[in-house]
Each structure stands twice: as structure tokens, then as C-alpha cells.
Amino acid sequence: MDQNNPTLRLAARARAADPDRYMCALFAAPHQRGALFALLLFNAEIARVREVVSEPMLGQIRLQWWREAIDEIYRGSGRRHEVADPLAEAIRTYGLTRSYFERLIDARETDLDDTPPESMAALEHYAEESAAPLVSLALEIAGADAGALADVARHTGIGWALTGLMRALPHHVAEGRVMLPQDVLAATGLTVQTVRGGEARANIARAVEKVADVARQHSHEARVLRRPLPRAAKRATLQAILSGAYLRRLAACGHDPTDPRATLGPLYRQLLLTRAALFGA
């Protein structure tokens, strides 16, 4: 790899930070990929805030830093930073909408609270705010009218985020965080304590299945809505293809996210995405 090529450096970092979305970004037009990689790195920065701070106040400070960085970019200045610099270039080149960045940052404040979402509706809202704006930004880079395609972005983002949350349940529990809604916990005879303790695995699987069913509905709707779109817009929403595949694999494993078979190998993911990108699925 040519270490003097900025796009290749961004690509390597985006691949490490977000392998699935990175793989989707490779199907964009070559001149658009650098901007997509910058978006992925920005999203990774705010998504990992909880993991790198020792208390919520420090997380708030980090998120505020990004609010100010975004504000400076849109005011025509900016601060030197390995992610903020290429992000500023992407914003200027493609005229990206500021409110999408603000929604992404605001959503990450939820990550600083250990309290499970109150309801399935609350979890869906978090999934939308933490993922759909990123899809809208990718659509803008692809030259699409993201406002007109808000429903596609919404369903793609929610389906992707809910799928990821269930797949990441063991990781989140290890951090002391349970991303199963309180109404789902109650309906499956669970408490935060039993989930953290790893007891009642059958009950946990039923809870995961309830969330996965909602994710499946959104993923299906996203795939329906993207069928008539131009090729560039379809490729900006390829996450819908992967989320559907992950959900099928999770179901085949009894909705047990600890099952090592509940994942997709890189070659299979590449095959799914290549087929969808070439044949317009």
C-alpha cells in the first residue's frame, strides 16, 4: 500500500474500524470512496466514545468536541485532526447536510447511559438516529436526493442498527450494558441482572428474536424501497443486503448471538454484495 496516498490510508483505517460498511463503500464510484471512508471513521470515532472514557461526563466532553468540530467546518474553518480533516473535505466536496451529523452525535449520548431502552419503540428510535443519517450522507455522496429517500435511509439504518445491536449483545453485556428494551425483557421473563449474569439463555434468545423480528421488517422494507432506485443509490444502501443475511444466519443459530456460526465470513459477504451491486438486488 502506498502510504503517501491519502485515500488508501483512509481505506485501511476504515476497513479496521468498520469492516462491513467499508466493504459496502468499495462498490461506490472510485472518486467517492474517500468521502465514504471519512464518514465511516467519523462514525467510528463517536460510536466508540463510551468505550474509551471512564465516566459519562468525559464522554459528553468528547461528543461536544465533535459538535464544535462540525460547527467549525460548516463555518469555513476547522481544526487539525486525522478524521476531521478528510471529513471537512467530504463535506465541502459533496455539500453534505449538517443536520445528519448532528443527529449522529446526539444519538451517541444514549450510549453513555446504562439504562436499557424503555420500549421497543425507544430502541427503534435510537437505531434510526444512530444509523439512518449515515445512510443519508452516503446517498448524498452518491448524488441522490437524500431528503426524498428518507424512508429508504430510515429502514436501512434501523434494520442495520438493530441487527448489529443483537449481534453485539454479548459484547455490550460484558461492558455492563443491556440493549434489550425493558418491555421485551418483561415479556420474556428477564431482568437486566439475569441478562448480565448469562442465565436463562433460552429466554435471552427469545428476547433477541423479538428484536430481530423488528429488524427483519425494516430490512425487508428497505430492500423493497431500494429496488426501483438508480444503481448509485442502491449501492449506497447495500447495508440492507448484509443485514438480511445476518438476520437469516442469527435465526439459523436459534437467535443465540454467542454462537460462533451467527456471523458471515468475509468471502461470503463479498459475494453477497458483489451480486447485489452487479445485478441490482
pTM of the model: 0.95
For residue 78, pLDDT over 80 is answered with: no
- For residue 4, the model assigns a pLDDT of 63
Contacts of 167 (CB under 8 A, 6+ apart): 246, 250, 257, 262, 263
- For residue 6, the model assigns a pLDDT of 79
Neighbours of 34 (CB within 10 A): 24
Contacts of 24 (CB under 8 A, 6+ apart): 235, 238, 239, 242, 273
Query: What cell does 5 get?
Result: 496516498
- For residue 1, the model assigns a pLDDT of 47
Q: Which residue has the cell 463479498?
A: 270
- For residue 181, the model assigns a pLDDT of 98
Output 6 or 49, whichever has higher pLDDT. Answer: 49
Neighbours of 111 (CB within 10 A): 22
DSSP state string for 128-161: HHHHHHHHHHHHHHTT--TTTTHHHHHHHHHHHH
Query: What cell does 95 get?
Result: 455539500
- For residue 156, the model assigns a pLDDT of 98
Please state the separation of Cα 131 from the chain's center in Å.
Answer: 5
- Alpha-carbon distance of 63 to 59, in angstroms, equals 6
For residue 168, pLDDT over 50 is answered with: yes
For residue 281, pLDDT over 80 is answered with: no
pLDDT digits (tens, 9 = 90+) for 80-120: 899 999 999 999 999 999 999 999 999 999 999 999 999 99
Cα separation values, 150 from 8, 22, 140, 144, 147, Å: 31, 22, 11, 11, 5
**Lowest-pLDDT range of 70-74, 139-143, 166-170, 196-200:** 196-200
Res. 175 pLDDT band, cuts 50 70 90: confident
User: Mean pLDDT across the chain, nearest whole number?
Assistant: 95
The phi and psi torsions of 138 (rounded to 5 degrees) equal: -65, -35
Neighbours of 203 (CB within 10 A): 16
